[in-house]
């Protein structure tokens, strides 16, 4: 689905979270997903994902058995074990036998059905794949860290525990512990069995005292086991004695001029691997990510060799967690390693060099952008506190990526390349930091001294505005850096003086435009490429466009009603100047708006204008829009990314969707178009991946809706509270180290093990103020309380909600202390008696609540104060009601319209304000309902104001075709063109969704019967095809009807449903010839089934194929049935034959099923009978030859022999019929050659009938045919190669028979013998050439030692016969010369010999000579001819052995 991608980082602190098959398919667990990667010695490619686990993948293993290597198993912290098919990416089955998080899983290398898993509580479970059974053991009450099955016996499993214990378990004896291996004093990280059985390989080379004490004992049968522990040692164990025989201590390697502190081991993860075929070599990891190869036979301290020393930077920079080995077909051994440095590396074990590196991502991909100067340079901002810069155009390394982490302490949420300066990259982080990296230097970044209070969401380069523009040098191209963050401010930074204070552009906006009120918080900005104007998006959904450099407000776009997330101007190199003014915007309401601001920019208005209608409205996404990008290669082509998990490409000018990409798991956060390939787009999101994909290869057009959307959201759904709980449980359960660099495991390890966003080990996640990744969202709103209230409402649905007060301020005054309330009574009495206290104004200030008890003016003052409070709190519905109470109905409706708070109640009272007010209110309510996706209700309200066509368009635009059609048919004339438009539009949608019958009904209603028939036929089953053919016939589409009927008949004939097949054709005109073909096929199959040479799985037969109706030959029976039931005669036979000649017949192949072969053979039989009726003897014999050849060439020998018997019972091909006396006479050369060839094969089958009838077991000829099936020549050769006496015992019957009853001289054709001998010589030379090329490629590409190469070639030499050894000196040139000579000989032979071949002449000679020796009297002349041909053409080794007894 995608071309290249950077996957999520493999999970940390797991003993076996990756594995590789023998075919080079690598599986890696990352978060709760398993990524499948094709690996080779030169490169790698992510091919798919296995999605389904609800929590972290803790273990993964392939089945390494032949025929089952595509099956794999995974374990998870959610306690489940899942079996997958890596070919189909589908879940096979799931086991939930564990009650605790699973720590490790392994598929037994010995038993293809055994899978063993262990959890943090110490429970070991055996899963039997083929039966689904499980067995549960509890060998030790300890926390399991790793386990591995023995490669030599299925019963033995080694289990490593957190406290350093290793236990060997016998799973065949209910988990009996055979050995407890004590020696390590800390966690067991990895276990590896020796690839060979026996313990004598290291007995004389054990280094330490413990090992030397075991020298006398390790000779017993057993197997070595290697273990890696957090105590910084690797131990080799004797499983026969249960003791350690060797201890390897990790060396302290210098790195970056310093020495590793031996006391710091919290970061160590010691992984070990014992490669197959290397019993004396062991690979292990070290402190800082180095890999080393240990030579177990070497003495002294320096037993190891470091991998990747040939050049700098090959090794991992952090600890390695998993290693796996694959041996390629060319003999190269590759080691795959995963590390904390978020890289997957491939190593060549022969050279110990790194072959390639695959970078991975450890957090959400928040930003990606291509450099406008450096082509193909892609910058990626990731939630793991790092920036990646990927050279996507590199030819040597497809994943040429550099990491930048200095100065970054938080998630990278925004990126922007300098538009003119190469390598200058601005970045913004989650903690409000803004900086600039020079990516082509090794210097740390320049950090702005002005920090934002919240997350930086957008960075943009643009022309400077006051006050910075005052200091700009005239004529010099100069750019400022603008940053927009979550607190709603936009800061202007001077890139040359980042240490200086940044300016807030809000002050300039206020001063220029004389704005006194508070500006809405800003959420995004985008400078037009020419720098003339800047668009700023706000939290309230408004977009303001300002003119540079004074930032004068030109216009305000008020189409969005939710927070603006992204803005993008069209590129400036379009050929159409009007396109330069296109501005695309995306918000949280899922719609994408494109605005045409060309006229506003070119002719700025004196006063700001308000635009409420967009140039284009692009609807399709089902969740908020997060990012967008214009194509630099097209005019007005846009790609958008959304929270619905998809990226959508739009044709803005047409307002149509182009394609939809669904390769991500989870919502998307960023997208960009490739600057060099117009078909390539890059996207990133929540799933920690960056993916490259092509527009032309996407199968979907629009985002998923309905059931698909539900399934997609199920994949994206996470439970933050549960996830947090699982993390704590994981840390406490002990599967993680208790400490890392002095920090508690719950803060660092538990989260780092999830490859989450807080994984970088330099950053402590315990003190981070950032929310966890599960709850983190691209949320730019500053008015968080309203959002929180919504979220809480879902969890408190069962609680009775207290209604909000309409007069909250005055009500709160009644909840003051008792003394104040008593004083209120005195004050109110004074007011009532016209002696108010000084400064007391009822309904205002401290006495606001007294407005309710005083006069109307006081009440209105109180209402004004309450309205202000409601406005500040956002309670616009309460404001509307207060205005209604005061009698300002029109003002209330206007306010409700502006704030989107219209309701049915307000609409019912709107007529009180007049017709025009009511109409405007209805129209505004319709827009509000559309935003709330209540389209049916909106259409109904449009009808109330007599806007019928607008209501229909509304329903149609939102895919409510059924309701729209019902409305049209109820209210408009039947011939209205909109009805046909609705039917065809609905049909297209139904057809795309697979509802073909419903789509056909729409097409029929629209009067397009052709489309109706085509769409029904798309189902491609027999009932659908028959229905489509009938529909096309009724509609007058004769050609289509016949085509569909033929497709249906083909499927029915393959199923041998002959009655239905004839009915399907009989309903159509001009298909009599095809009906005759079906009839002939049915009769042929019935006759062959009666002869027991072909099975008949018949569904239904026609009456003419009844068992009692039989004729001498099959062609007689076919002709009689045709004349009786179909009225065939010589008068119409010519037209029928012409129709059937138009049918193409493919070349015979052994891959075609027998049923299809019989259908093709019966086609030639049909043509032959029609040629018989036309008295065309030449065409007749050629078609009969084709009918037999169609069965002979694919290898159906028995069926071919039986067909020859049915066609020519007397064995004479010149006699075509007995019932209708017919003797064939041929004049043309091709017909004579076809007749001779057909006669030869008839005799050939007769010859083998005699062969089998005279065999020692006296088998029936038909049974013999069935037993021999495809190649009788094999039996001849087998019998010829037996001992002479044995052959005579087996073949010779007690009585000798008479002479042959046919003339076999036709089988001994010397021209055909010469042709066949030349063809055999060509085949032999081709085989020798292929063997020579294979041996040469192995010698060049195998990179084997001379001893290994010689050992590899020796079996091939020993298997060759003596004759081949004598010719071994032949070269490629000499063989090529021979090939040319043989091909020239073949070309010189007559075409008729090659076109119409005979049976193998040498084989026939052998059979005749065997029969002459055993049972039959063969004429002396025939024997002499056979021997002469054998001497001349029987030059093959097997033929020479077979003919030895006859020629000596």
The model's pLDDT over 316-370, given as tens digits with 9 standing for 90+, comes to: 989 999 999 998 888 889 999 999 999 999 999 999 999 999 999 999 999 999 9
Cα dihedral 969/971/974/980 (nearest 10): -60
Q: Residue 1012: is it exposed, middle or buried by C-beta count within 10 angstroms (0-12/13-18/19+)?
A: buried
Spell out the residues 6+ positions from residue 1096 whose beta carbon is closer than 8 angstroms to its own: 1056, 1085, 1086, 1088, 1089
pLDDT digits (tens, 9 = 90+) for 493-514: 999 999 999 999 999 999 999 9
- Considering only residues 167 and 907, tell me which one the structure prediction assigns the higher pLDDT: 167
Angle of helix 1058-1066 relative to helix 1038-1054, nearest 10 degrees, comes to 170
Could you give phi then psi for residue 962, rounded to 5 degrees? -60, -45
Residue closest to 918 by CA, chosen among 905, 928, 909:
909
> At residue 1445, does pLDDT exceed 90?
no
The DSSP result for 1100-1143, as a single string, is B--GGG-TT---SSHHHHHHHHIIIII---HHHHHHHHHHHHTS
The mean pLDDT of 1061-1071, rounded to a whole number, is: 83
SS3 1039: helix
- Give tens-digit pLDDT for 1112-1162: 688 888 888 888 888 888 888 888 888 888 776 677 777 788 888 888 888
Q: How far from 968 is each of 948, 1072, 1318, CA to CA, in Å? A: 9, 46, 78
Q: How far apart are CA 1242 and CA 1261, in angstroms?
A: 15
Query: 3-state secondary structure string, 533-587?
Result: EEEEEECCCCEEEEECCCCEEEEEECCCCCCEEEEEECCCCCCCHHHHHEEEEEE
Rounded average pLDDT over 1259-1281: 45
CA pair distance 718, 55, nearest whole angstrom: 10
Give the pLDDT confidence score for residue 1374 in this predicted structure: 85
pLDDT in tens, 702-760: 988 855 555 555 555 544 444 344 443 344 333 333 333 333 333 333 333 334 443 33
Alpha carbon distances (Å) from 502 to 420, 434, 464, 782, 1283:
22, 11, 12, 22, 102
| Residues 336/344, Cβ–Cβ less than 8 Å | yes
Contact call for residues 664 and 689 (beta carbons, < 8 A):
yes
Alpha-carbon gap, residue 1204 to 1215, rounded angstroms:
13
Cβ-based neighbours of 501, under 8 Å, separated by 6 or more: 449, 450
**CA pair distance 1409, 1024, nearest whole angstrom:** 59
Question: What size, in residues, is the chain?
Answer: 1448
- Say if residue 764's pLDDT is above 80: no
Helix (H, G, I), strand (E, B) or coil at 597: coil
Contacts of residue 8, defined as CB under 8 A and 6 or more positions apart, other chains included, come to 30, 31, 33, 35, 360, 361, 362, 687, 688, 689, 755
Q: Quick one: three-class SS letters along 458-476?
A: EEEEECCCCCHHHHCCCCC
Task: Identify whether the C-beta of residue 192 lies closer than 8 Å to the C-beta of residue 273.
Answer: yes
- The predicted model gives 800-813 an average pLDDT of 78
Listing DSSP states for 364-419 in one string gives -EEEEEE-SSSTTEEEEEETTTEEEEEETT-SS-TTEEEEE-TT--S-EEEEEE-S
Residue range 1092-1117: mean pLDDT, rounded? 70
Q: Which tokens go with 758?
A: 């807080």
- pLDDT the model gives residue 148: 96
Give the tokens for residue 704.
Answer: 């998923």
| Cα–Cα dist 1010/1031, whole Å | 9
What are the tens digits of pLDDT across the range 624-667? 999 999 999 999 999 999 999 999 999 999 999 999 999 999 99
pLDDT in the model for residue 1324: 87
Query: What was the pLDDT predicted at 152?
Result: 92
Per-residue pLDDT of 1300-1342, as tens digits, reads: 667 788 888 888 888 988 888 888 888 888 888 888 888 876 5
Does residue 97 or residue 1347 have the better pLDDT? 97
Kindly state the tokens that stand for 740: 């890392």
State how far the Cα of 543 lies from the Cα of 385, in Å rounded to an integer.
31
Query: In degrees to the nearest 10, what's the CA dihedral of 438, 444, 445, 451?
Result: 180
From residue 776, alpha-carbon distances to 56, 656, 757 in Å are 18, 33, 10
pLDDT digits (tens, 9 = 90+) for 1003-1014: 999 998 899 999
Q: Output the pLDDT for position 1107.
A: 58
For 203-230, write each residue's pLDDT tens digit: 444 444 343 333 333 334 789 999 999 9
- The model's pLDDT over 381-426, given as tens digits with 9 standing for 90+, comes to 999 999 999 999 988 888 999 999 988 999 999 999 999 999 999 9
Assigned token pair, 120: 């943090």
Whole-number Å distance between alpha carbons of 999 and 1034: 18
pLDDT per position as a tens digit, 1200-1222: 888 888 888 888 888 777 677 67
3-state secondary structure 1400-1439: CHHHHHHHHHHHHHHCCECCHHHHHHHHHHHHHHCCCHHH
In angstroms, rounded to a whole number, what is the distance separating the alpha carbons of residues 787 and 173? 59
Q: What local confidence, expressed as pLDDT, does residue 254 receive?
A: 62
- List the structure tokens of 839: 């400064």
């Amino acid at each position: 689905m995608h071309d290249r991608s950077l996957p999520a980082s493999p999970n940390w602190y797991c003993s076996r979270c990756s594995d590789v098959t023998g075919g080079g398919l690598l599986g890696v667990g990352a978060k709760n997903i398993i990524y499948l990667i094709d690996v080779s010695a030169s490169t790698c490619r992510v091919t798919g994902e296995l999605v389904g686990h609800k929590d972290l993948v803790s273990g993964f293993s392939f089945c390494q058995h032949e025929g089952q290597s595509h099956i794999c198993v995974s374990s998870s912290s959610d306690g489940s074990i899942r079996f997958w098919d890596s070919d189909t990416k589908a879940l096979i089955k799931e086991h939930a036998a564990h009650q605790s998080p699973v720590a490790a899983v392994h598929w037994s290398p010995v038993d293809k059905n055994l899978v063993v898993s262990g959890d943090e509580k110490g429970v070991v479970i055996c899963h039997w794949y083929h039966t689904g059974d499980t067995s549960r053991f509890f060998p030790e009450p300890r926390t399991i860290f790793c386990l591995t099955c023995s490669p030599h016996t299925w019963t033995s499993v080694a289990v490593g525990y957190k406290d350093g214990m290793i236990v060997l378990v016998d799973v065949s004896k209910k988990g009996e512990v055979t050995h407890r291996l004590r020696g390590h004093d800390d966690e067991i990280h990895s276990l590896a069995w020796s690839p060979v059985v026996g313990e004598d390989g290291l007995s004389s080379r054990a280094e330490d005292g413990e090992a030397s004490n075991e020298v006398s004992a390790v000779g017993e049968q057993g197997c070595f086991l290697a273990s890696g522990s957090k105590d910084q040692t690797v131990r080799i164990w004797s499983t026969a004695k249960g003791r350690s025989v060797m201890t390897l201590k990790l060396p302290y390697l210098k790195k970056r001029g310093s020495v590793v502190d031996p006391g710091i081991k919290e970061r160590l993860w010691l992984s070990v691997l014992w490669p197959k075929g290397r019993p004396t070599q062991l690979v292990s990891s070290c402190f800082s990510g180095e890999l080393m190869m240990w030579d177990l036979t070497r003495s002294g301290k320096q037993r190891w060799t470091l991998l990747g020393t040939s050049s700098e930077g090959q090794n991992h920079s952090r600890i390695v967690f998993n290693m796996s080995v694959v041996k390629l077909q060319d003999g190269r051994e590759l080691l795959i390693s995963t590390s904390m440095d978020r890289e997957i590396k491939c190593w060549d074990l022969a050279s110990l060099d790194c072959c390639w590196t695959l970078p991975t991502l450890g957090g959400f991909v928040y930003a990606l952008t291509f450099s406008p100067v450096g082509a193909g340079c892609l910058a990626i901002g990731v939630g793991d506190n790092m920036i990646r810069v990927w050279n996507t155009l590199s030819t040597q390394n497809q994943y040429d990526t550099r990491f930048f982490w200095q100065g970054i302490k938080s998630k990278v949420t925004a990126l922007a390349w300098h538009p003119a300066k190469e390598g200058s990259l601005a970045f913004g982080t989650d903690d409000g930091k803004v900086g600039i990296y020079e990516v082509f230097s090794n210097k740390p970044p320049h950090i702005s001294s002005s920090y934002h209070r919240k997350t930086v969401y957008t960075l943009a380069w643009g022309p400077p505005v006051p006050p910075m523009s005052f200091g700009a040098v005239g004529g010099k191209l100069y750019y400022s850096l603008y940053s927009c963050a979550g607190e709603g401010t936009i800061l202007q930074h001077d890139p040359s003086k980042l240490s200086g204070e940044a300016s807030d552009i809000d002050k300039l906006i206020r001063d220029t435009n004389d704005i006194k009120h508070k500006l809405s918080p800003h959420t995004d900005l985008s400078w037009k490429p020419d720098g003339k104007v800047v668009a700023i998006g706000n939290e309230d959904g408004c977009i303001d466009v300002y003119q540079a450099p004074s930032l004068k407000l030109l216009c305000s776009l008020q189409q969005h009603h939710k927070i603006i997330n992204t803005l993008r101007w069209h590129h400036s190199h379009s050929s159409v100047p009007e396109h330069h003014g296109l501005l695309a915007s995306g918000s949280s309401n899922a719609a994408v708006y494109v605005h045409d601001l060309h006229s506003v920019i070119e002719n700025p208005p004196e006063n700001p204008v308000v635009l409420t209608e967009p140039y284009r409205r692009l609807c399709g996404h089902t969740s908020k829009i997060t990012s967008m990008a214009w194509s630099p290669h097209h005019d007005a082509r846009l790609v958008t990314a959304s929270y619905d998990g998809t990226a959508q490409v739009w044709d803005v000018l047409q307002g149509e969707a182009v394609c939809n990409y669904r390769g991500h798991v989870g919502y998307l956060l960023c997208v960009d178009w490739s600057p060099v390939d117009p078909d390539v787009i890059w996207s990133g999101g929540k799933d920690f991946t960056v993916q490259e994909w092509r527009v032309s290869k996407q199968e979907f057009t629009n985002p998923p809706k309905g059931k698909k959307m539900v399934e997609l959201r199920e994949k994206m759904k996470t439970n933050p509270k549960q996830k947090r709980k699982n993390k704590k449980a994981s840390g406490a359960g002990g599967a993680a180290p208790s400490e890392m660099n002095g920090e508690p495991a719950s803060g660092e390890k538990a989260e780092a093990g999830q490859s989450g966003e807080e994984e970088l080990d330099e950053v402590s996640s315990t003190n981070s103020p950032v929310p966890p990744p599960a709850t983190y969202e691209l949320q730019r709103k500053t008015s968080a309380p309203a959002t929180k209230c919504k979220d809480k409402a879902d969890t408190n649905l069962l609680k009775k909600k207290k209604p909000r007060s309409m007069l909250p301020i005055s009500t709160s005054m009644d909840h003051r202390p008792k003394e104040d309330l008593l004083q209120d009574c005195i004050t109110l009495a004074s007011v009532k008696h016209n002696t108010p206290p000084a400064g007391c104004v009822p309904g205002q200030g401290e006495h606001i609540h007294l407005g309710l008890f005083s006069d109307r003016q006081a009440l209105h003052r109180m209402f004004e104060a309450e309205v202000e409070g409601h406005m500040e709190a956002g309670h616009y519905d309460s404001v509307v009601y207060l205005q209604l109470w005061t009698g300002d109905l029109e003002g209330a409706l206007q306010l409700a319209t502006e704030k989107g708070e219209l309701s049915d109640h307000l609409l019912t009272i709107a007529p009180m304000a007049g017709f025009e007010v009511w109409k405007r209110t209805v129209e505004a309510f319709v827009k509000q309902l559309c935003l709330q996706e209540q389209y049916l209700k909106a259409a109904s309200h449009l009808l109330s104001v007599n806007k019928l066509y607008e209501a229909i368009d509304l329903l149609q635009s939102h895919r409510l075709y059924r309701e729209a059609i019902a409305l049209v048919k109820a209210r408009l004339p039947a011939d209205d063109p909109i009805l046909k438009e609705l039917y065809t539009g609905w049909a297209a949608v139904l057809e795309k969704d697979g509802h073909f019958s419903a789509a056909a009904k729409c097409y029929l209603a629209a009067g397009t019967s052709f489309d109706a028939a085509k769409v029904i036929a798309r189902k491609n089953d027999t009932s659908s095809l028959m229905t489509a053919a009938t529909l096309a016939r009724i509609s007058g589409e004769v050609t289509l009807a016949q085509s569909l009927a033929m497709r249906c008949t083909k499927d029915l004939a393959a199923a041998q449903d002959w009655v239905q097949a004839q009915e399907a054709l009989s309903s159509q005109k001009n298909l009599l010839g095809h009906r005759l073909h079906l009839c002939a096929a049915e009769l042929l199959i019935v006759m062959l089934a009666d002869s027991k040479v072909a099975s008949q799985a018949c569904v239904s037969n026609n009456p003419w194929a009844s068992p009692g109706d039989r004729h001498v030959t099959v062609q007689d029976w076919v002709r009689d049935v045709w004349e009786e039931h179909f009225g065939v005669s010589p008068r119409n036979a010519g037209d029928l034959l012409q129709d059937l000649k138009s049918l193409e017949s493919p070349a015979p192949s052994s891959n075609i099923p027998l049923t299809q072969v019989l259908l093709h053979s019966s086609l030639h039989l049909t043509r032959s009978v029609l040629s018989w009726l036309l008295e065309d003897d030449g065409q007749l014999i050629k078609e009969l030859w084709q009918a037999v050849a169609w069965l002979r060439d694919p290898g159906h020998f028995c069926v071919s022999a039986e067909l020859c018997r049915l066609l020519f019972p007397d064995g004479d091909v010149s006699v075509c019929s007995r019932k209708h006396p017919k003797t064939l006479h041929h004049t043309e050369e091709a017909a004579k050659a076809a007749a001779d060839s057909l006669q030869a094969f008839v005799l050939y089958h007769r010859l083998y009938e005699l062969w089998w009838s005279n065999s020692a077991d006296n088998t029936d000829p038909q049974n013999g045919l069935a037993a021999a099936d495809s190649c009788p020549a094999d039996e001849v050769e087998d019998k010829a190669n037996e001992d002479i006496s044995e052959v005579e015992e087996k073949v010779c019957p007690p009585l000798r028979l008479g002479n042959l009853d046919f003339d076999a001289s036709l089988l001994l054709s010397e021209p055909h013998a010469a042709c066949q001998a030349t063809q055999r010589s060509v085949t032999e030379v081709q085989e020798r050439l292929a063997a020579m090329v294979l041996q040469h490629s192995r010698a060049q590409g195998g990179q084997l030692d001379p001893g290994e190469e010689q050992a590899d070639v020796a079996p091939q030499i020993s298997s060759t016969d003596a004759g081949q050894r004598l010719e071994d000196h032949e070269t490629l040139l000499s063989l090529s010369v021979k090939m040319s000579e043989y091909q020239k000989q073949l070309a010189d032979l007559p075409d008729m010999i090659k076109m119409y071949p005979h049976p193998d002449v040498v084989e026939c000679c052998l059979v005749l000579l065997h029969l002459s020796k055993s049972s039959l009297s063969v004429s002396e002349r025939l024997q002499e001819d056979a021997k002469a041909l054998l001497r001349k053409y029987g030059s093959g080794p097997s033929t020479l052995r077979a003919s030895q007894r006859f020629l000596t």
